[in-house]
Amino acid sequence: MLDEAVTIRFDPHVHSRASYDGCETVNRILKHASEIGLDAISITDHDTIEASLRAAALAPSYGMIGIPGVEISTQEGHLLGLGIETMPEPGRPFEDTVQAIRDRGGVAVVPHPFQRMRHGVKRRHLTDCDAIEVYNAWLVTGFRNRRARTFAARRDYPGVAGSDAHSVLTLGRAYTEMRFNKDKEVDGEAIIAAIRNDSLNVFGRRAPMHRSMGHYLKGAGRKTVSLTRAIPTRIFDII
């Protein structure tokens, strides 16, 4: 136990408008995160890292720690890469993508595992990673979170909690807490190391039912549009 410690509240799973199903600018996300008491954040857009890099650079001006990341599509499902500044190629095998994230100095975290409709990695494919998202605030019931938590415990994987927020209304509904000695400089590298070392506590509450269902319906519609019409993303559209 740390007699005197600094507690960091980190939301590792947040989407900006750079995601096909996100709607918030980077600045709005950072402002709200600071206002609700988060200390660190990682914007993890779908298969694009530019907004996350921008957020990491801007975070200190909001009194926060920004950790670059991405939610990348693999052949077997979605995977969070946290603590990386370049994005692995989407569409590669899961195991190859895990290694590519590690090669970049990051951690590979499996979000919403076992959920087919949300591109969760199936149990049989989940052979190696650095952590499991054991609490996702967008789940309609608690069953999937309990299943993820049980799996992580049995396989001795660290567990993280993330809001999976696509708007500021649900930002911080789930977060990962870690404690550091007050004399230690806490930065992105320290947070990534804490995930690797499983020095974590998780907290969360589910998004309201009507928001969850609305999110799924909107996401399905936006995904259909994104697959049929490519829209270039400009950096000034997402900050």
pLDDT in tens, 172-209: 999 999 999 988 889 999 999 999 999 899 997 754 54
d(CA 234, CA 216): 25
Domains and CATH numbers, the chain: 5-237 (3.20.20.140)
What is the average per-residue pLDDT within 96-115? 94
Of 66-70, 92-96, 176-180, 227-231, give the lowest mean pLDDT range: 227-231
Q: Model confidence at 140, in pLDDT bands (50, 70, 90)?
A: low
According to the model, what pLDDT value does residue 162 have? 97
Name the more confident of 147 and 2: 147
Q: Model confidence at 142, in pLDDT bands (50, 70, 90)?
A: confident
pLDDT of 227 over the 50 cut = no
pLDDT of 233 over the 50 cut = no
What is the average per-residue pLDDT within 82-96? 97
**The tokens of 157 are what?**
């994987």
Q: Which residues are within 8 A (CB) of 226 and not within 5 positions of it... i.e. 6 or more apart?
A: 20
pLDDT of 85 over the 60 cut = yes
Measured CA to CA in angstroms, residue 63 lies from 7, 34, 41, 164 at distances of: 14, 7, 11, 22
According to the model, what pLDDT value does residue 126 have? 86
pLDDT of 222 over the 50 cut = no
pLDDT of 231 over the 50 cut = no
According to the model, what pLDDT value does residue 184 have? 84
Q: Model confidence at 117, in pLDDT bands (50, 70, 90)?
A: low
- Its pTM stands at 0.85
Q: Model confidence at 237, in pLDDT bands (50, 70, 90)?
A: very low
d(CA 169, CA 171): 6
- The beta strands (E) that lie in the chain are given as 5-14, 40-43, 65-66, 69-74, 77-82, 107-110, 131-136, 159-162, 174-181, 201-204
